[in-house]
Copies of this chain bind each other. A is one copy, B any other.
Amino acid sequence: MGFKVGLLGLGTVGTGVGKILQSPEGRHPLLQAVELARVGVRSLDKPRDLELPSHTLTTDLAAIVSDPDVDIVIEVIGGLEPARTLILDAIAHGKHVVTANKAVIARFGDEIFTAANQAGVYVMLEAAVAGGIPVIQPLKESLGANRIHAMMGILNGTTNYILTKMQSGGDFDDILAEAQALGYAEADPTADVDGFDAGDKIAILTSLAFGGRVKLDQVHREGIRQVSAADIAYAQKLGFVIKLLAIAKLPPNNNNNQVEVRVHPTLVPEEHPLASVNDAFNAILIEADPLGQVMFFGPGAGAGPTASAVVSDTINIVALLKTGLTAANPDSETIHPLLACSHNSYFDVAPMADLVTRFYARIRTQDHPGVIGRLGTCFGDHEVSLESLVQTDVNDNLAEIAVVTHLVREGDFRQALNEIKSLEAVDSIPSVLRVL
């Protein structure tokens, strides 16, 4: 019994998928039951890194998702449209779908999974988060005994590469330009550098870990443009490295169906497992009861790792088809309950003012005695207690004071900062970052 795949997109990931499907030897034996039947591309004439029979290629992607012979549609064209429409059309035609498209799933997951459940088909998305690192499947199948409290990850390779390089010295703009020259960052780096990509991914992980969706515009998102060489240096002095973390947490004593979901540069203690995740690598750390902490680490992007996840998802669908769990029988009991999306409620995202976290702030002050006392008083008035403090002279008149607080309510800390900003002895507050 063979299963026919329709592949939408033949860029680097699509080519990687094709190469795996064409060389099943040494991989899972089920791959031998998979046939790359149709491949949808934008132009038939482009030179390809993959040999395909000419009748396989087509520019009519809509014909692939409605082809009665196709069992599984793999979507690796990326972007919002026509990807969303093609996925929905594939589902409407009873196809199972494998996608690497975090943007579509983060925005239209509700619509897509509702349609999939109605049609009795699977939509698999391991490749959409953290590339080749298995994290979706483990969340669905390996951690079910647990109450998950928190999840935090380095989910964007480009920003992690930039921050890692900045640790050896250098400013954001220069290293971004270098990363662009090397092809590690795109010409328009906004999606990576401003945290949109990580935001999409943590929204997806939130729904898997906590069983409820979040609206993407409620995800608090700060990018890494604000991180300066000076901050990196202070962080090092204080025993931290700066990482762009995507964090989702159930707030403690939460009675309001709220979840914290946020992406921001974060000071991570040097001895923390995420601190040593460098360059373009990704990692996801999960805190659960009774499991404790587990971390998944690996390549978060790239043709090979992404294709690995896409094809492994395909094998999982084939395994289920082999056992008779087919779209022909769209009775909910025949859909594997761990692989289908079973939730359809939305979490409220907790307001950032209510977040309880540690903070780092760099404060420029006039260089005379008593300034630290006045800062301390302001902080104390707002329940902010300090864990450490480093002072450096900038020039004859200005000093810079870097502080790390104990846990504090974000709203209280911001009020203290506002008061500090208005002190006569204070010149400016060039940066404020959260601390893990």
Contact = CB atoms under 8 A, between A and B. Distances in A.
B297 A298 contact: no
B28 A144 contact: yes
A396 B311 CA distance: 64
B299 A297 contact: no
A138 to B, nearest CB: 4
Contact of A323 (B145, B299, B325): B325
Interface in A249-294: 273, 276, 288-294
Interface stretch (A45-53, A171-179, A312-320): A312-320
B312 A290 contact: no
B20 A145 contact: yes
Contacts of A146: 27, 308, 312
For this chain, the copies found in one complex come to 2
A312 B142 contact: yes
Interface stretch (A36-44, A99-107, A331-339): A331-339
A9 interface: no
A133 B292 CA distance: 10
B294 A132 contact: yes
A291 B299 contact: yes
Contacts of A304: 289-292
A141 interface: yes
B132 A291 contact: yes
Of the candidates A147, A302, A310, the one having the most CB atoms from chain B within 10 angstroms of its own CB is A147
Given A30-B337, A322-B337, A290 B20 contact: yes
A134 interface: yes
Of the candidates A28, A137, A297, the one having the most CB atoms from chain B within 10 angstroms of its own CB is A28
B144 A134 contact: no
Given A27-B147, A145-B314, A294-B298, 8 more contacts: A133-B294, A134-B138, A137-B142, A138-B138, A290-B305, A291-B305, A293-B298, A296-B296
